[in-house]
Amino acid sequence: MIYSMGVASIVTVAALVGLWTPDWDRAGLEKKYETPDTQFAVIQGQSVHFQDSGPKEAPVLLMLHGFGSSLQTWDAWADSLQKHYRVIRLDLPGFGLSGASSNNAYSEEDDVQFVENFVTAMRIPEFSLIGHSMGGKIAWNVAAAYPSKVKQLILMAPDGYADPEDIGAKPYEIPGFMQVMKYCLPKFFVKKSLEPAFYDGKALTEDLLTRYHDFLRAPGVRQAIIDRANQTINTDPVARLKNITAPTLLLWGDSDRMIPPSNAARYANVLTTSTTVVLPKQGHLLQEERPVEGLAKVLAFLSPGQ
């Protein structure tokens, strides 16, 4: 009761000082960010937002974004990759225009099952997989669960390899006072949250900040983020990682303050076949900070010798 009264008081103050931040209208948000490749599909009873570009007969690249992000994080890379690949990127459950999971399920097993159901619905028997941060954790879990389907695996600062003492902990746990973000999410707060993800803070442009802010205000996303954070628990990854057969690229920025590049050695010591690349003067969001550098490494990995 005391906690509820505290939240109510904060929300009241936020409204009075003009910090009240309601969800955006879904139709307006869809119109603002739609492209000719925008599509929706019903997966597990949920309307899932994705973009499907490039030659339909080309090898498939499935791209999974990180925590608090959306499929637009891949814009710069997709423009180039779709010349030679069928590029499919989606808003994972709880984020972007996909919104909250239909059954409020965000465990590792739920995420893997969701991706499997998605590719099955899309009639994609095999694919290469690119995942960043949280999306990297989902990507390697999918590659471990369905090794015959994943041909190549690119993990960009992947989450999911915790210190032994952190097994069983909640890596995304949100303090109770952060519940107010459902009602009060000023843009400067989002900016301060994003700045550590970049080596150079100037890379966080106003357009980029606006996009992140917009999608955090997509209907139901803020509550879904809180729910995902409460359901995500560190588990021992070793047995699953050893089940991966796909050649794997481990890609990191040397100045990543979210997931340190030293974690790459943990994966490399367990994975059957991997290559590690650490990019200088890059932070956590290397696909958005200086996208050309990371993209060059990805293309060389996907098509060696070309």
d(CA 211, CA 65): 14
Number of H helices, E strands in the chain: 12, 8
Structure tokens at 41: 């599909």
d(CA 15, CA 91): 30
Residue 116 has pLDDT above 60, yes or no: yes
Where residue 6 falls among pLDDT bands split at 50, 70, 90? very low
d(CA 64, CA 176): 28
CATH fold label, 2-301? Rossmann fold (3.40.50)
Where residue 10 falls among pLDDT bands split at 50, 70, 90? very low
The per-residue pLDDT for range 176-202, each reduced to its tens digit, is: 656 788 888 889 989 999 999 999 999
| pLDDT for 11 | 44
Distances, alpha carbon 173 to alpha carbons 18, 190, 194, 205, 273, in Å? 28, 17, 17, 28, 33
d(CA 18, CA 169): 36
Residue 299 has pLDDT above 90, yes or no: yes
d(CA 63, CA 128): 9
Of all residues in the chain, the percent with pLDDT exceeding 90 is 82
The per-residue pLDDT for range 210-233, each reduced to its tens digit, is: 999 999 999 999 999 999 999 999
Nearest to 104 by CA among 95, 94, 114: 94
* CB hemisphere CA count around 53 (13 angstroms): 19
Residue 4 has pLDDT above 60, yes or no: no
pTM over 0.95, yes/no: no
Distances, alpha carbon 42 to alpha carbons 50, 53, 67, 110, 293, in Å? 11, 19, 22, 16, 35
| pLDDT for 3 | 32
Instruction: Return the domain boundaries, the chain.
Output: 2-301
Mean pLDDT of 25-33: 94
Instruction: Say if residues 224 and 218 touch (Cβ distance below 8 Å).
Output: no
The per-residue pLDDT for range 230-249, each reduced to its tens digit, is: 999 999 999 999 999 999 99
* 3-state DSSP assignment of residue 250: strand
